[in-house]
Structure 1
Amino acid sequence: MDDWKEFIDSFRKFLEREVEPFAHEWDEKGELPRVIFKKLSDIGYFGLVAPEEYGGSNLGIIPSVQAMELLSEFCGSTFFSASASFGLFGEPLKHFGSDIQKNEYYRPVLSGEKIGCMAITEPQSGSDVSSIKTIAKQKKDLSIELSGQKTYITNSSIADYAIVLARFINSEGIDKGLTHFIVNLDNPRIQRGRPMKKLGLRASVTGELFFDQAVIGNEENILGGIGKGFRQTMATFNEERLSIAAYSLGVLNACLKECISFASSRMSFGKPIYQHQAVAHMIADLYTKVESVRSFTYRIANEMQTDQEKERKDRDSEMGAKCSALKLFASTQAREGVNLAVQIHGGAGYMEEYKVARLYRDIRLAEIGGGTSEIQKSIIAGSIMKRSKK
């Protein structure tokens, strides 16, 4: 507990010094400095749920969620790019990787020396993971060629490594199902598209990856076993949805802080605007959203922590529904909360010089990334109906 509190205190000071003064500039440039990954690792952010033998502190899910919440309050772009590297790339390696894979890929990503990403989405395959067309074909010499296209990939243009979901065709021509492959992106047969121009989170680069019969190694590059990719992806999504809830909470915290400051200093009809009932009620609504999202987020984080400690595997479906419900609720409340923040700021809220304008653009992804709100509702309803038949 003392280590946890000490880390959070030092992490806040780090963010005030290394992130907050530059977040607007990074957003305008459309990129993060690569050194921020190393700095986040050095301060201990990447290692909160990582085993000590790989350089982590293994403090657990709850401290990690609190740290993600804090980073999101200062810079959403930094949060998303960092999470794609140590989270979407690193966490599957931690759970499913071999010792050799962890030493070769997991360790350098945790140290911030290398950057990772996860490549699942395709031009014609988003939430419908089972319809993926990318092919990993095993040749007679047992080497594997990767062919296909991935899109909307966070860190695509800056990543060193990727976990790529593809359909594995073995040397006998048999389809062995969706499988994850660990891919070194420094390959002449792998091309990267230009970073896409986005509505928000502009400093977190997003783009495409093209694989043209790229030889990526052999079965040693398979993560966690042949045909295990779909289940691994679903497990990763639970953690991603919890992290998006933490992001949503961080954005709400930032909105409340900005609104308190603005409503205290902005004068209207001879008094600070917070003294007008209309503004006061919006601040009250915003505060209520913060507290409700915080309560839900940390309850699910506690449950996930308990399940991991007890190594429970019997609650996958139930936990999946809960993570979907959490993401749905948190992202909706955050989007509504940011709208209130802009309204409280009035005309100033529409100006890019005010932080709430960036928050307004950035939060929109929370209802899309990690599965749209509509997909979350389908998952929730499916789980409820499945349990009702038992």
Structure 2
Amino acid sequence: MSQVNADDFAQIAAAVHEFIRTRVLPREREIADGDAVPDDLVAAAKEIGLFGYAIPQEWGGLGLDLQQDVELAQEFGYTALALRSMFGTNNGIAGQVLVNFGTDEQKSTWLERIASGDVVASFALTEPGAGSNPSGLRTKAVEQPDGSWIIDGGKCFITNAPTANLFVVFARVRPADDDGPGIAVFLVPADAPGVSVADRDKKMGQEGAWTADVHFDGVRVEKSALVGGSVDVGYKAAMVSLARGRVHIAALAVGSAQRALDESLRHVAVTTQGGTPIGDFQLVQAHIADMQTGVMAGRALVRDAAAKWVSEEDRRIAPSVAKLFCTEMVGQVADKAVQVHGGSGYMRDSVVERIYRDVRLLRLYEGTSEIQRLIVGGGLVRQAKKEAKGK
């Protein structure tokens, strides 16, 4: 249940729209060239509550539900994705682990500082041998006689690792058994002895969105660092947080697709070939029509999946359907946008060239398209088998 009514949300959405369109869009080249979001934009994002918009109000956030979240995510997708990346984990996969599974003590220790942006929380799940499937984790946590834990292992591609104050770390505490997969989640301060962060990754796109490897060498954390106070909370926390995040990423993709379409429309309306605006050519119009169809279908799907999440009607299949369709769709839209721009669309100073590179990652993180297909297909087949047995 949202803590924000429709009128209040309309004001929040208008403020975010204004911030994105007037403050961030003019700075996109600066973000890309500097591989960083300028400090004044970070401060402005904190001021309007973007580091905690999905954190409940009792912990200092705005308290938006996922239906409201996806409306903002479409705005974030309209500009350089690095902006959303800097506060995305606070609101999403890292922050939601605490909101949904943390103890009262863990919430009171961390959530207000996460919501204000004073603490950047980073979701440390992915490993070289365990990407979209957390059951393959090799990072280990061993309980000590005094109840503390020693964590050893390495993580890769961890968003916000270079600036993180808190790592939400997934680690194996035992082999998978009948009680569950044996994965627990721990809150590890970035300055804990034994935590080291490698140099920033050099990526294809999303300049300004920093990722890096993180290593845990004999890192000791107290018993109170075990999320939910139970070793069997971890895997469920990962699955629930990732599923919610998939709807958010789908919305982000819709926003990026809308921007690619808008840039293309501006281009074809004024660019001429032989004295005729290229937008008058039917083959160009066909590309535009396909782009618009993808954007509208994606937007409707995202809103439907978010509504099903909030009502708890479907928190497994629908998020994967939305992420699969929308992230594949934005790749196609970005490709068409480069095509209708012609040679200028391939130039580094073109907005659609940046979008083309930025959105390629959306099909990879928080579960690849292949993993989404397995979740959707496998889930539907299991459901059909269960129904067949019941007849």
TM-score band w.r.t. shorter chain: over 0.9
Structure 1 equivalent of residue 389 of structure 2: none
* Post-superposition offset of 1:11: 1.2
In structure 1, distance between residues paired with 2:78 and 2:181: 43
1:78 to 74, 83, 108: 83
Structure 1 equivalent of residue 300 of structure 2: 295
Give deviations 1:136-193, integer Å, cap 9, x for gaps.
Answer: 1222232221111000111111111010000126xxxxx9921000110112311101
The 1:277–1:124 alpha-carbon spacing in structure 2 relative to 1, beyond 3 Å, is: same
Structure 2 equivalent of residue 56 of structure 1: 61
In structure 1, distance between residues paired with 2:194 and 2:62: 37
Structure 2 equivalent of residue 15 of structure 1: 20
Q: Are residues 1:319 and 2:288 paired? A: no
In structure 2, distance between residues paired with 1:187 and 1:50: 25
Give deviations 1:318-341, integer Å, cap 9, x for gaps.
Answer: 531221111111111110000000
In structure 2, distance between residues paired with 1:354 and 1:214: 45
Structure 2 counterpart SS, 1:65? helix
Structure 2 equivalent of residue 339 of structure 1: 335
Mapping for residues 133-152 of structure 1, pairs under 5 Å: 133-152=138-157
Structure 1: 5+ residue stretches without partners: 170-174, 308-314
In structure 1, distance between residues paired with 2:26 and 2:259: 15
Q: Are residues 1:380 and 2:384 paired? A: no
Structure 2 counterpart SS, 1:152? strand
* Post-superposition offset of 1:242: 0.4
Contact 2:50–2:87 (Cα < 8 Å) also in 1: no
Give deviations 1:30-53, integer Å, cap 9, x for gaps.
Answer: 223456444323213344332211
Structure 2 counterpart SS, 1:243? helix
Structure 2 equivalent of residue 43 of structure 1: 48
Contact 2:195–2:216 (Cα < 8 Å) also in 1: yes
Give deviations 1:251-278, integer Å, cap 9, x for gaps.
Answer: 1110111011111121111121111111
Structure 1 counterpart SS, 2:25? coil
Answer with 375-384 or 43-52: which moved more: 43-52
In structure 2, distance between residues paired with 1:255 and 1:105: 38
Contact 1:45–1:67 (Cα < 8 Å) also in 2: no
Structure 2 counterpart SS, 1:146? strand
Structure 1 equivalent of residue 270 of structure 2: 265
Mapping for residues 151-300 of structure 1, pairs under 5 Å: 151-168=156-173, 177-216=182-221, 218-224=222-228, 225-300=230-305
Contact 1:38–1:113 (Cα < 8 Å) also in 2: no
Aligned partner of 1:220: which letter? Answer: S
Contact 1:338–1:360 (Cα < 8 Å) also in 2: yes
Aligned partner of 2:352: which letter? Answer: V
In structure 2, distance between residues paired with 1:100 and 1:136: 21
Contact 2:56–2:63 (Cα < 8 Å) also in 1: yes
Give deviations 1:85-139, integer Å, cap 9, x for gaps.
Answer: 3212111111111222112211111101111110011111112311211111222
In structure 1, distance between residues paired with 2:258 and 2:359: 13
The 1:35–1:220 alpha-carbon spacing in structure 2 relative to 1, beyond 3 Å, is: farther
Aligned partner of 2:37: which letter? Answer: L
The 1:220–1:193 alpha-carbon spacing in structure 2 relative to 1, beyond 3 Å, is: same
* Post-superposition offset of 1:199: 0.5
Give deviations 1:209-231, integer Å, cap 9, x for gaps.
Answer: 01110122x22101122122111
Give deviations 1:333-368, integer Å, cap 9, x for gaps.
Answer: 110000000001000100111100000001111111
Structure 2: 5+ residue stretches without partners: 1-5, 175-179, 387-391
Contact 1:136–1:144 (Cα < 8 Å) also in 2: yes
Aligned partner of 1:103: which letter? Answer: S
Answer with 141-150 or 48-57: which moved more: 48-57
Structure 1 counterpart SS, 2:200? coil
Structure 1 counterpart SS, 2:182? strand
* Post-superposition offset of 1:66: 0.5
* Post-superposition offset of 1:18: 2.9
The 1:227–1:34 alpha-carbon spacing in structure 2 relative to 1, beyond 3 Å, is: farther
Count of residues in Structure 1 that have an aligned counterpart in Structure 2: 376
The 1:37–1:161 alpha-carbon spacing in structure 2 relative to 1, beyond 3 Å, is: farther
* Post-superposition offset of 1:208: 0.5
Structure 1 counterpart SS, 2:232? coil
RMSD: 1.8
Structure 2 counterpart SS, 1:147? strand
In structure 2, distance between residues paired with 1:124 and 1:244: 23
Q: Are residues 1:96 and 2:109 paired? A: no
Q: Are residues 1:129 and 2:112 paired? A: no
In structure 2, distance between residues paired with 1:82 and 1:59: 15
What percentage of aligned pairs have identical amino acids? 29
Structure 1 counterpart SS, 2:231? coil
In structure 1, distance between residues paired with 2:293 and 2:45: 31
Compute the TM-score of the two structures, normalised by the length of structure 1.
0.92
In structure 2, distance between residues paired with 1:248 and 1:102: 31
Q: Are residues 1:354 and 2:350 paired? A: yes
